[in-house]
Amino acid sequence: MPLYEYTAISDAGKKVKAMIDANSLQEAKLKLIRRQIAVLELESLSDKKLQAHLNRSDVLNLTREVARLLQAGLPLFEALSALEEKYRGQKNHKLLLDLCDSVRSGHSLSQSLARHPRTFDLLYVSMVANSEKTGSLGVALQELADLLSRQQQVRKQIVSALLYPALLSGFCVVILCALLFYVIPSLRELFEGRELHPFTRLVFAASHFACRSKGLLALFVIGGAGLGLFALFSKPWKQKLFAWTLRLPILKEFFAKVAFVRFFRAAATLLDGSLPLIQAFEQARRVMGHPLLEAVIAHAEEQIAQGESIQKTFENHPLIPPLIPRMIGIAEEGGKLPFMMQQIAQVYEEELEKTLTQFAALAQPILLLVLGAIIGFVLLSVLLPMTDVSSFATG
């Protein structure tokens, strides 16, 4: 049933926007008249206008709430309708209204979710579709909520570990700019025509160059930021930038751990939902965010399809740690592959947490030392000529 958006006058005399479903525009008008709603505008909502983009927290909360309502015994449409009423007037209301309308029209939940690819990725939709075949939608949504929660937790750990060093680095840049562009130029006349210490000459020369090249430096900063944004939004450049960062030993290990956590968590959840192994690997590797490891998994899928064991496809590969094929081999013998994949994800999640903790513990004092060294060097360069009383006397 089509959806219509209307603008009306509320009882408080304010303009409000809401939606209503009807078979036609005329029927929508009649419904609003029966409700005694003073309508100012009424228009049909296209599929493009119904496209919602929820952040990860909103998707997690929505998934949890639908799972709880389904596990409490409510039918799917009733659960979605209850949430649609709860979130009326909020940003996810359009999405819920569209889901209600699509499910009521006879579409499955997975088909309805697929209409919103910016909010629900392929892994999410595939897990829902597979659970609909087995009749375990509530359980699958709860597993999805747990998976999204763990992914969000890892993301928060990364952000919290990088936030303080980033802020301290920004503060260091601000202090350096203040010294080069304002403080040091104001002291130049004080030492005009005097013999200066090499440190002082170096600092004054750097300040003089920075002041004369403000436009060039600003252009360099803007150009660098523009190239960075272009690289983030352009897939080929993003892959090249990522491939370059993987040459750095520390970042290479860090990104690999993040990718392993994502892949093995997703694969274990899909296998628990009775999805075939190759399909589970294919869908799980799409969330890795690591092109090199995605290629390894894709090659492993081809070998598994030819009858090779999972352990052998991962053995003796330079990008795969020996622990992974060893644990997978044990799982294949015992028939507990999803459980073992959860354990592998847990192992690398703990290692990732240790790495982030160590990074945060080391980055903070190092940045403080750098900031102190810069300020100390500038102060020393300014104070050294002041200690030379003879230079003032001869002046």
Query: CATH code at 83?
Result: 1.20.81.30
Q: What radius of gyration, in Å, describes the C-alpha atoms of the chain?
A: 30
309 and 195 within one domain: yes
Reported as a pLDDT band with limits 50, 70 and 90, residue 340 is: very high
Asked whether residue 51 is assigned to any structural domain, the reply reads no
| CB count in 10 Å sphere of residue 366 | 11
Reported as a pLDDT band with limits 50, 70 and 90, residue 212 is: confident
Question: 115 CB contacts (<8 Å, ≥6 apart)?
Answer: 47, 50, 51, 98, 102
Instruction: Determine the Cα–Cα distance for residues 315 and 312; give it in Å rounded to an integer.
Output: 5
User: Residue 311 above 70 pLDDT?
Assistant: yes
341 and 214 within one domain: yes
Reported as a pLDDT band with limits 50, 70 and 90, residue 40 is: low
% of the chain at pLDDT higher than 90: 4
144 and 11 within one domain: no
Model pLDDT for residues 142-200, shown as the tens digit of each residue: 888 888 888 888 888 788 877 877 888 888 888 888 888 888 888 777 777 677 778 78
261 and 159 within one domain: yes
Greatest CA separation for the chain: 97
Instruction: For the chain, count helices (H), then strands (E).
Output: 19, 3
Asked whether residue 259 is assigned to any structural domain, the reply reads yes
157 and 121 within one domain: no
188 and 257 within one domain: yes
Instruction: Determine the Cα–Cα distance for residues 93 and 56; give it in Å rounded to an integer.
Output: 16
Q: Identify the domain containing residue 19 by its residue range.
A: 3-45
62 and 25 within one domain: no
State mean pLDDT over 31-40: 72
Amino acid at 33: I
User: Residue 109 above 70 pLDDT?
Assistant: yes
Cα dihedral sign, 261-264-270-274: negative
**Phi and psi for 308 in degrees, rounded to 5?**
-75, 150
Reported as a pLDDT band with limits 50, 70 and 90, residue 204 is: confident
Q: State the total domains in the chain.
A: 3
